[in-house]
């Protein structure tokens, strides 16, 4: 095959791939190139040089780097046949081009391996999806250690923004400069994890929300992963993202294949807002499949922080009525409803209604929920088993573990091995029966621990467990296609684009502290749109931090997501109930904009402030939230520059809500006291004059084109 250039492009992005005899190489990925150029001539006349004193020929940084070609990156494929065939050398055999996508078929007959590399560039979202597949074409087994997606990065993509966290502290961001060597994010927790969210931004140093060339990456996989980026000694850079496989985890028998999870990538010429816009559009158009496409996201009441395990149906009926009064649209019974579940030490796996708590079953509660015009949802943690449960007593061998070794408990529980068909069928059967017996339109699907020593048939089985979990969710959806599912894992420990293909909302965090939520929700916003980001108003005294916030700060913060309330509304004062009702009504009035508009973050000058907003596609209306996180260093706040507004429009700027007292203001800016018309270009470039707020408070501002 002679060398040719394959051009994938959208209205704003170009990707040029050189394909010859060897594995294909991306020679350009970035801002859209002009049409009608002689790319072939340009790139052959303009090829990189071969430097002195190293490999005598050019070494391409291909879409699956090979050690055999003398490339000293981390290889894209690693494995062997008991030590043989450890360094394959592929030849490109076939290229299948279709509008917006290309598939490369490659083979190493000596190693008995076939490799397929798929790339698809979405025309609307501009997201590039990549995925690799290896097939064992020989008779002997091939022990696969690694197959990963590789993409090159430009030489000036030197700054990395990565995500980290822990329980109640998800989606935190940090940055490093990478000029030499590698940086790796490795997750061995068996779920997407709170600690190592599989996403990263890499760009020109100092890239901001609105400036700098930047590339965004997200690996769609709910298990172990490795994201690795390297600044090579020759000056080239790349990123790799794939599943992290345990020793012996994938052994391909003759004819068997393994595919990587999909890597979702994108490019922005102007900062992170464009990256998020592309990711959000892709989630909306390609990932999430709501059973009813046009349905508004109902406001939730979740019982967890209101009553925990203390379930009394008569009292729950009071909660139901109080919920309806404040405008709740979906009532969800969280943990504690099933047989023997009085605390977190027992009963996971025994998915039967606790007849001591609910002597008449769930029906009276569901009837009341329905009478009040709400939907009903129920919590499950299907992949778990408590040592104190009938399920464990009857089937101790269904625990996911390594025989002969002690299995650690996390939150007093073990994991159910879903790779055992009987265990899978049992839990599917229990959930199916609950969903068939009762009018349940929503599942909160929880998963509260990591996988440790995940072994099945004497082999590492993280990969198998994650796939069995996907199969379980798929089976539930096949049987109950109208049921919506929330992915939760002790908060935001399991959210990624692969599970979002099967679910409809994620619980961002068990932390309902509005201050923490400002940061968590901002971190999550880089990848996920607001309509799927669970955000609840919690109790005044936050259960996980012990901080107290007024209702306005809690309410304004929870507006920016799929809103809910997580407390006991039956014991709220009339004043509190009126305030809940106010924020719920406000959310309902804004949700069409919040849930379909384009989200953006503002670049702020003072580190203790942040701003974000949502603007309608036609730029006729925007809602902006400005938050004072900590004590301001300055008496005067910096103006808030509001990106995304239309330069040619005039906006009526109106303060809708404030959670701060005016202790720091003698005289506010005039727009604060009276709605004012201002030019979009000026609001963008000069900014809206802010005033110093009390720490831990927020403003809500509406902008309407006149
Ligand atoms: C962890 C979840 O994140 C919480 O919201 C709640 O559902 C508890 N589990 C229940 O055990």
| 334 Cβ inside 6 Å of ligand 1 | yes
Separation of CA 444 and ligand 1 centre (Å) = 9
- pLDDT by residue (tens digit) across 602-617? 999 999 999 999 999 9
Q: Quick count: other Cβ atoms within 10 Å of Cβ 666? A: 6
| Residue whose structure tokens are 């002689």 | 38
Atom of ligand 1 nearest to the CA of 490: 3
In a 10 Å sphere around its CB, with 0-12 CB exposed, 13-18 middle and 19+ buried, how is residue 673 labelled?
A: exposed
* Pocket of ligand 1 contains residue 305 by CB under 6 Å: no
pLDDT tens figures, 268-321: 999 999 999 999 999 999 999 999 999 999 999 999 999 999 999 999 999 999
Q: Which atom of ligand 1 is nearest to the CA of 344?
A: 11
pLDDT at 1 over 60: no
- Which of 242, 163, 168, 169 has the alpha carbon at shortest distance from 196? 163
The whole-angstrom distance between residue 356's C-alpha and the CA centroid of its chain comes to: 39
State which of 305, 337, 448 you would mutate to test the pocket of ligand 1, scoring each by most atoms of that ligand within 8 A of its C-beta.
448
Query: What does the DSSP assignment read for 299-318?
Result: PEEE-HHHHTT---HHHHHH
**Is a pLDDT exceeding 90 seen at residue 600?**
yes
Q: Which helix (H) or strand (E) holds 700?
A: strand 697-705
Q: Please check the confidence at residue 571 and state whether its pLDDT lies above 90.
A: yes
CA atoms of 198 and 224, how far apart (whole Å):
9
CB of 506 within 6 A of ligand 1: the answer is: no
Catalytically active residues are 446, 510
With a 6 Å cutoff on the Cβ, whether 170 touches ligand 1 is no
Chain position carrying tokens 């109080």: 322
- Over residues 327-364, the pLDDT tens digits come to 999 999 999 999 999 999 999 999 999 999 999 999 99
Per-residue pLDDT at 35: 86
Q: Between helices 313-326 and 363-371, what is the axis angle to 10°?
A: 20
CB 304 near ligand 1, within 6 Å? yes
Interval 306-335: pLDDT, tens:
999 999 999 999 999 999 999 999 999 999
Phi and psi at residue 289, in whole multiples of 5°?
A: -125, 95
300 alpha carbon – ligand 1 mean position (Å): 15
Q: How confident is the model at residue 259 (pLDDT cuts 50, 70, 90)?
A: very high
Nearest atom (ligand 1) to Cα of 444: 7
Mean pLDDT calculated for residue range 196-212: 98
558-590 b/e (C-beta count within 10 Å ≥ 16 → b) = bbbbbbbbbbbbbebeeebeebbebbbebbeeb
DSSP one-letter string for 456-486: ETTEE-HHHHHHHHHHHHHHHHHH-TT-EEE
Q: Which residues contact 537 (CB under 8 A, 6 or more apart)?
A: 512, 551, 554, 555, 558, 563, 564, 565, 566, 567, 580, 583
Closest C-alpha to ligand 1, atom 6? 304
What mean pLDDT is reported for the chain? 97
Q: Please state, in angstroms and rounded to a whole number, the distance separating the CA atoms of residues 553 and 698.
A: 6
Which CATH architecture fits 64-287? Distorted Sandwich (2.70)
Helix, strand or coil, per DSSP, at residue 530 = helix
Q: Which pLDDT score is estimated for 284?
A: 98
**What CA–CA distance (Å, rounded) separates 642 from 55?**
51
Closest approach atom of ligand 1 to CA 491: 3
Q: Whose CA is nearest to atom 1 of ligand 1?
A: 490
Reported CATH class of domain 300-596:
alpha beta
For the stretch 57-94, pLDDT in tens is 999 999 999 999 999 999 999 999 999 999 999 999 99
Helix then strand then coil, in percent of the chain rounded to 5, is 25, 35, 45
**Which two three-digit tokens encode residue 262?**
């999909």
- What local confidence, expressed as pLDDT, does residue 384 receive? 98
Report the C-alpha gap between 229 and 363 in whole angstroms: 54
Edge-to-edge strands of the sheet including 4-9? 4-9, 13-19, 25-31
DSSP state of 283: I
- Asked if 192 contacts 489 with a C-beta cutoff of 8 angstroms, the reply is yes
DSSP secondary structure letter of residue 696: S
In this structure, the residue with its CA closest to atom 11 of ligand 1 is: 335
Give the whole-angstrom CA distance, residue 210 versus residue 268. Answer: 10
Distance from the alpha carbon of residue 619 to the mean position of ligand 1, in angstroms? 38
CA distance 299 to 585: 10
Using a 6 Å cutoff on CB, does residue 446 contact ligand 1? yes
Give CA–CA dist 101/119, Å, rounded: 6
Who's near 393: CB < 8 A, 6+ residues apart? none
pLDDT tens-digit profile of 137-182? Answer: 999 999 999 999 999 999 999 999 999 999 999 999 999 999 999 9
Q: Where are the domains of the chain?
A: 64-287, 300-596, 600-705
Is 262 in contact with 283 (CB distance < 8 Å)? no
Q: What is the pLDDT of residues 225-257, one digit of tens each?
A: 999 999 999 999 999 999 999 999 999 999 999
pLDDT tens across 11-30, in order? 999 999 999 999 999 999 99
Q: For residue 3, what are its two tokens?
A: 């060398």
pLDDT at position 36 is 86
Separation of CA 490 and ligand 1 centre (Å)? 5
Task: Indicate the DSSP class of residue 639.
Answer: P
Evaluate whether the domain defined by 600-705 bears CATH number 2.60.40.1180.
Answer: yes
Nearest to 111 by CA among 75, 145, 83: 83
Q: Which of 169, 490, 506, 544 to mutate to test the pocket of ligand 1 (most atoms within 8 A of CB)?
A: 490
**388-424, pLDDT tens digit by residue?**
999 999 999 999 999 999 999 999 999 999 999 999 9
Cα–chain center distance at 172? 13
3-class DSSP assignment, residue 552: helix
pLDDT in tens, 511-538: 999 999 999 999 999 999 999 999 999 9
Percent of the chain with pLDDT strictly greater than 70? 100
How far does the centroid of ligand 1 lie from the alpha carbon of residue 381, in Å? 9
The tokens describing 667, both together, are 């005289």
User: Which candidate, 210, 225, 320, places its Cα nearest to that of 601?
Assistant: 210
The backbone region for 453, taken as left when phi is positive above 0, alpha when psi lies in -120 to 50, beta otherwise, is: left
pLDDT-based confidence at 2, cuts 50/70/90? low
Tokens of 296: 């508004």
Question: Does ligand 1 come within 6 angstroms of the Cβ of 507?
Answer: yes
């Amino acid at each position: 095959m002679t060398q040719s250039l394959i051009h994938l492009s959208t209205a704003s992005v170009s990707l040029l791939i050189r394909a010859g005899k060897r594995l294909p190489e991306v020679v350009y990925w970035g801002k859209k190139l002009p049409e009608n150029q002689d790319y072939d001539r340009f790139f052959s006349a303009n090829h990189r040089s071969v430097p002195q004193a190293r490999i005598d020929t050019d070494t391409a940084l291909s879409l699956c780097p090979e050690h055999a070609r003398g490339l000293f990156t981390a290889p894209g494929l690693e494995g062997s046949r008991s030590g043989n065939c450890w360094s394959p050398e592929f030849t490109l055999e076939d290229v299948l081009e279709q509008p917006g996508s290309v598939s490369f078929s490659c083979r190493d007959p000596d190693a008995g391996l076939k490799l397929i590399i798929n790339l698809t560039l979405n025309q609307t979202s501009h997201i590039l999806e990549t995925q690799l597949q290896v097939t064992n074409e020989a008779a002997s087994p091939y022990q696969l250690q690694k197959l990963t997606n590789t993409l090159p990065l430009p030489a000036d993509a030197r700054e990395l923004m990565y995500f980290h966290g822990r329980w109640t502290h998800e989606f935190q961001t940090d940055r490093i400069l990478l000029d030499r060597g590698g940086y790796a994010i490795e997750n061995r927790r068996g779920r997407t994890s709170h600690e190592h969210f599989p996403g990263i931004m890499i760009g020109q140093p100092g890239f901001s929300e609105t400036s700098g060339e930047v590339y965004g990456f997200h690996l769609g996989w709910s298990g172990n992963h490795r994201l690795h980026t390297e600044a090579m000694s020759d000056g080239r850079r790349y990123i790799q993202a794939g599943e992290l496989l345990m020793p012996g985890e994938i052994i391909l028998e003759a004819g068997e294949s393994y595919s990587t999870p999909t890597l979702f990538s994108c490019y922005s010429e102007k900062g992170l807002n464009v990256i998020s816009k592309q990711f959000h559009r892709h989630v909306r158009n390609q990932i999430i499949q709501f059973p009813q496409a046009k349905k508004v996201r109902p406001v939730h009441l979740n019982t967890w922080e209101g009553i925990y395990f203390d379930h009394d149906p008569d009292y729950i009926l009071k909660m139901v009525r109080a919920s309806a009064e404040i405008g709740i649209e979906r009532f969800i019974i969280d943990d504690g409803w099933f047989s023997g579940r009085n605390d977190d030490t027992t009963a996971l796996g025994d998915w039967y209604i606790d007849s001591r708590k609910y002597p008449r079953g769930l029906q009276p509660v569901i009837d009341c929920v329905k009478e009040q015009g709400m939907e009903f949802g129920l919590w499950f943690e299907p992949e778990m088993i408590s040592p104190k449960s009938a399920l464990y007593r009857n089937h101790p061998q269904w625990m996911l573990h390594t025989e002969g070794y002690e299995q650690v408990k996390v939150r007093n529980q073990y994991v159910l091995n879903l790779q055992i068909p009987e265990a899978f069928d049992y839990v599917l059967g229990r959930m199916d029966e609950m969903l068939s017996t009762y009018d349940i339109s929503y599942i909160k699907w929880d998963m509260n621990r990591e996988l440790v020593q995940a072994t099945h048939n004497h082999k590492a089985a993280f990969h198998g467990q994650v796939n069995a979990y996907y199969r379980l969710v798929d089976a539930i959806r096949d049987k109950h296609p109208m049921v919506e599912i929330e992915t939760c894992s002790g908060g935001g420990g399991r959210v990624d684009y692969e599970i979002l293909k099967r679910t409809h909302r994620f619980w961002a965090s068990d932390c309902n502290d509005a201050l923490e939520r400002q940061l968590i929700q901002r971190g999550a916003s880089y990848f996920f749109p607001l309509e799927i980001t669970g955000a609840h108003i919690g109790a005044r005294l936050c259960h996980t931090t012990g901080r107290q916030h007024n209702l306005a700060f809690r309410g304004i913060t929870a507006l920016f997501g799929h809103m809910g309330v997580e407390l006991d509304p039956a014991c709220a004062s009339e004043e509190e109930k009126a305030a809940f009702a106010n924020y719920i009504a406000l959310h309902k009035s804004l949700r069409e904009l919040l849930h379909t508009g384009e989200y953006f973050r503002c670049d702020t000058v003072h580190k203790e402030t942040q701003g974000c907003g949502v603007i309608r596609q036609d730029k006729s209306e925007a809602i902006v939230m400005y938050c004072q996180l900590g004590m301001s260093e300055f008496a005067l706040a910096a103006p808030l520059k509001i990106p995304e507004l239309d330069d040619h429009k005039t906006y009526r700027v109106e303060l809708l809500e404030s959670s701060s007292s005016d202790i720091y203001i003698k005289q506010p800016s005039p727009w604060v006291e009276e709605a004012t018309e201002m030019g979009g270009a000026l609001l963008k470039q000069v900014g809206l004059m802010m005033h110093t707020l009390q720490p831990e408070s927020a403003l809500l501002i509406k902008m309407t084109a006149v």
